[in-house]
Structure 1
């Protein structure tokens, strides 16, 4: 495909759509691969896929392969789901929660997300879903952005405690955060300081792809 070849020289935008949640969704050929972007940041594939792949490697591919049920809060184009299925060869169930119906339409059309048999997509607010779900999960991936902003509820102790209660013993949370200023840095430190060290171990993987910091939580009791 000629667009793919030329994309090594210059990004080639092939689709744009206004979205109520993300303002603008763009599908672009960049460096030989299709990526999904919002107005100001990468939403799926490209750098975001590298960031979350790095976090999954830190947990361990063999550990993930043995899991039964993974929850993804914030699906976008589904790059982390593709990593789980195609690279890690994870065979268990994946539940993806995404608030933006426009993004899921794009993910199905351009990234074939609907062809992944073990994936169930639920259109819902992540906060509401976490309160309602009766399931427990081996891995919870939190990757929720509205363009470059992260909703405040993600860092509130009520939400983080609820996330941890729906996590199985020896389960993991992989939380992708963005740090653009010192206030964000302090926010992350406060978030980590509020996690009970008797029940959970916490690792911070700073400055992944410049502005992202991954927080990895393991439930040990």
Structure 2
């Protein structure tokens, strides 16, 4: 409790480790809440939770409550899952895919992720999982970073088409992206252009927390 109180004055790191994939994973008290960070970015809770909560609000909590199955690609500490379960009161199935098993251990220990009964965690590469899964989803949340870097495959046509094929009719993709320079800005514009003249409705929520741009994609009925 003392650390929580003092965290309003200065962040207090309580745990730090490394994994095969991450140079630094830190659990810190900041402004009265526990957050999960990499060396240069917020991975869960804190600003990231605010970003993805805004995306969910744009989809509509009522619409989410009517969904049956949500896929989260990139779990980290599980802040978006906590928003779904604790704030929105989503009761359907959530499948979370995370490549870094060490991060899931931390999420269970510090953020009680393993206590969420309607959550299934799969330790796998998101690209591989998307190729293998036979399920269809009402909502796919893509939140994949290695520190401040986003894997190139997320923006490739093959992956885009495969993810879209996993959506049910009227299903939605919520894609969290980071833009740090003009090259990445152009990358996002090309990504959005992939959906023109297709059966999708797309919109962006730009520059959240300075560098983040959310992309919302809805699959229209045919």
- For Structure 1 versus Structure 2, the TM-score category normalised by the shorter chain is over 0.9
Q: What SS does structure 2 have at the residue aligned with 1:128?
A: helix
Say whether residues 1:126 and 2:126 are aligned partners: yes
Corresponding residue of 2:70: 70
State the Cα distance separating 1:181 from its structure 2 match. 0.2
Query: How many angstroms apart in 2 are the aligned matches of 1:162 and 1:2?
Result: 48
Output the CA distance in 1 between the equivalents of 2:216 and 2:120.
24
For residue 198 of structure 1, report the CA deviation from its aligned partner: 3.6
Instruction: Map 1:10-29; keep pairs closer than 5 Å.
Output: 10-29=10-29
Which residue of the partner structure matches residue 9 of structure 1? Answer: 9
> In 2, distance between residues paired with 1:218 and 1:166?
12
Q: Distance in 2 between matches of 1:197 and 1:214?
A: 21
Could you tell me how far 1:196 is from its partner in structure 2?
4.0
Count of residues in correspondence between the two structures: 221
1:212 — aligned with what? 212
Aligned to 2:172: 172
The equivalent residue for 1:202 is 202
What is the SS of the residue equivalent to 2:18? strand
Matched, 1:34 2:31: no
- Choose 17-26 or 68-77, whichever is displaced more: 17-26
Matches of 1:163 and 1:105 in 2, distance apart? 27
Cα distance in structure 1, aligned partners of 2:65 and 2:157: 30
1:106 is paired with a residue of what secondary structure?
helix
SS in 2 for 1:90: coil
Q: 1: distance between equivalents of 2:131 and 2:39?
A: 30
2-structure distance, mates of 1:174, 1:22:
24
Deviations 1:172-194 (A, max 9, x none): 00000000000000000000101
Q: State the superposition RMSD in angstroms.
A: 0.6
Q: What pairs with 1:87-166 in structure 2 (closer than 5 Å)?
A: 87-166=87-166
2:185 aligns to what? 185
Long gaps (5+) in structure 1: none
- Give distance in 2, aligned partners of 1:66 and 1:107: 27
Cα distance in structure 1, aligned partners of 2:171 and 2:72: 14
Distance in structure 2 (CA, Å) of the matches to 1:32 and 1:188: 34
SS at structure 2 position matched to 1:23: coil
User: How big is each residue's C-alpha offset from its partner over 1:20-71, in whole Å with a ceiling of 9 and x where there is no partner?
Assistant: 1121100000000000000000000000000000000000000000000000
Quote the Cα distance in structure 2 between the aligned partners of 1:90 and 1:123. Answer: 23
Q: Secondary structure of 1:76's partner? A: coil
Moved over 6 A (4+): none
Output the CA distance in 1 between the equivalents of 2:218 and 2:3: 42
